[in-house]
Structure 1
Amino acid sequence: MANEPKARLGILMLDTQFPRILGDVGHAGSWPFPVRYAVVPGATPEAIVCDDIEPFVQSFIAAGRELVAEGCTGIATTCGFLALIRPRLAEALGVPVAASALEQAGIIAATLPPGQRVGILTISAASLSPAHLRAAGVPEGSSVEGLEESSFAQTILGNRRDLDVAQARKDMVLAAQRLVARHEDVGAILLECTNMVPYAIDIAAATGRPVHSIHSYLTWFHAGLQPPVFAAP
């Protein structure tokens, strides 16, 4: 439609078939502003999280260039593990890139009282390497809790067509409770995985901690791409 607002934010999607429920980064209804998506063929969750990302770098760049050519002035992705390639994406695309929810860890840490730190929930603690954390600027000493054995992780990493939302919610709450039980100094929780956002409210209620995610990150990011307009007094 000619009168539809143009999307400033372009989102590079993994090649997935699991349900993108409301709240998920890949569900357009999750955003209070227009977004434009581009799928990177072959970049499945397992390939990006568990295998070598290098074979897909040029495909991410190509898809990003298409989004920029269509008018997007900022680029994001749908996987926290893509923090590793953010510098190369930004250099190749020539626009700001917000590749991973993990990139806000330093800002979150700066808001916490002395003696508290950020705790990270990730779909795979075994795959989330020190290199990923360094690339995203995650402060040293941040606690990490994985969901490798959960039904949620098996659905996402296995790229299955069916998602048990009720079980995924239980998986999230249990993992978050483990995180704060093992690390009582966790003052805020950061969700690495972009598919965890629908359960953020449940995690917050179960732990009493603030919960940050790709949704909070990209809402902030988009506010810079398209500043709000306020009526004159």
Structure 2
Amino acid sequence: MHNNDDARLGILMLDTKFPRILGDVGNPNTWPFAVKYAVVEGATPEAVVCDDVEPFVQAFVAAGQELVGSGCSGIATTCGFLSLIRPRLAAELGVPVAASALEQAPQIQAMLPPDQCVGVLTISARTLTPAHLAAAGAPEGTPVQGTDGSSFSQTILGNQPILDVPAARADLVKAAETLVSDHPDVGAIILECTNMVPYAAAIAAATQRPVFSIYSYLVWFHEGLQPSQFGTP
């Protein structure tokens, strides 16, 4: 375990009841460094993903200020849909903010061969709008595949206390296979949802594509906030 008193990365948590299994953004053991969490009361997955985040913006700001005040020099969130509020969070908090795994899209797109594109796997294709993608800098027309209606989506969006992990893994692999089947030019996949990380390896194995997530994003982000020491300090 890491001493979270020394944490440089603060993570704004949705108000959730579902299990935070290893690999989930909300499990402190997922991270190879210390993190601090602050829960945004009332900001449930359904409220943020399916409804309107606007009523909660000030609550996110207040929780972020608490984390910054405790010593965090960078802030992240636990929902890819929060790309919409990153500019306001950064302006209010005065520190770098990594709000959504989708924000990796421009860098990933630039790495790919010119005949390939980045694709997105989301917990709710029904409510992930072009505005969410544009706010994250994703190229216009980025292919999107949702897990809408699946066991995984129902558990997370319904904030249910029991998660069927094998079923969730199967749901995500199936959706990812559909994404690359429908869009063979997808050369890399971004997992919009921060709760998809535990299944990234299975998705990569099934699709033979690189898979990026909130985990890959925040490991990179944290390395900037607190660079590793090599050799003699």
Are residues 4 and 175 of structure 1, via their aligned partners in 2, closer, same or farther at CA, if it must alter by over 3 Å? closer
Match of 2:179 in 1: 179
Match of 2:77 in 1: 77
CA contact (8 A) 2:65 2:93 kept: yes
Match of 1:229 in 2: 229
What is the TM-score of this pair, normalised by structure 1? 0.98
Residue 232 of structure 1, CA deviation? 3.9
Structure 1 residue identity aligned to 2:80 = G
Match of 2:102 in 1: 102
Paired with 1:141 and 1:107, the residues of 2 have a C-alpha distance of 16
Match of 1:35 in 2: 35
Residue 98 of structure 1, CA deviation? 0.2
Per-residue deviation, residues 84-119 of structure 1 (Å, max 9, x unmatched): 000000000000000000000000011111100001
Paired with 2:126 and 2:56, the residues of 1 have a C-alpha distance of 21
Match of 1:140 in 2: 140
Q: Is it true that 1:111 corresponds to 2:76 in the alignment?
A: no
Identity of aligned residues (%): 71
Structure 2 residue identity aligned to 1:190 = I
CA contact (8 A) 2:4 2:36 kept: no
Paired with 2:108 and 2:27, the residues of 1 have a C-alpha distance of 25
Residue 149 of structure 1, CA deviation? 1.2
Residue 140 of structure 1, CA deviation? 1.4
Per-residue deviation, residues 135-170 of structure 1 (Å, max 9, x unmatched): 100011211000111000000000000000000000
CA contact (8 A) 2:101 2:191 kept: yes
Paired with 2:30 and 2:232, the residues of 1 have a C-alpha distance of 29
Paired with 2:30 and 2:138, the residues of 1 have a C-alpha distance of 26
Match of 2:59 in 1: 59
Paired with 2:185 and 2:92, the residues of 1 have a C-alpha distance of 39
Match of 1:194 in 2: 194
Residue 4 of structure 1, CA deviation? 6.6
Task: Point out where structure 1 has 5 or more consecutive residues left out of the alignment.
Answer: none
Structure 1 residue identity aligned to 2:96 = P
Paired with 1:51 and 1:108, the residues of 2 have a C-alpha distance of 29
Task: Point out where structure 2 has 5 or more consecutive residues left out of the alignment.
Answer: none
Match of 1:88 in 2: 88
Match of 2:68 in 1: 68
Moved over 6 A (4+): none
Match of 2:22 in 1: 22
Residues 211-230 of structure 1: matches in 2 within 5 Å?
211-230=211-230
Per-residue deviation, residues 159-203 of structure 1 (Å, max 9, x unmatched): 000000000000010000000000000000000000000000000
SS of aligned partner of 2:228: coil
What is the TM-score of this pair, normalised by structure 2? 0.98
Paired with 1:83 and 1:4, the residues of 2 have a C-alpha distance of 26
Paired with 1:87 and 1:114, the residues of 2 have a C-alpha distance of 30
Match of 2:150 in 1: 150
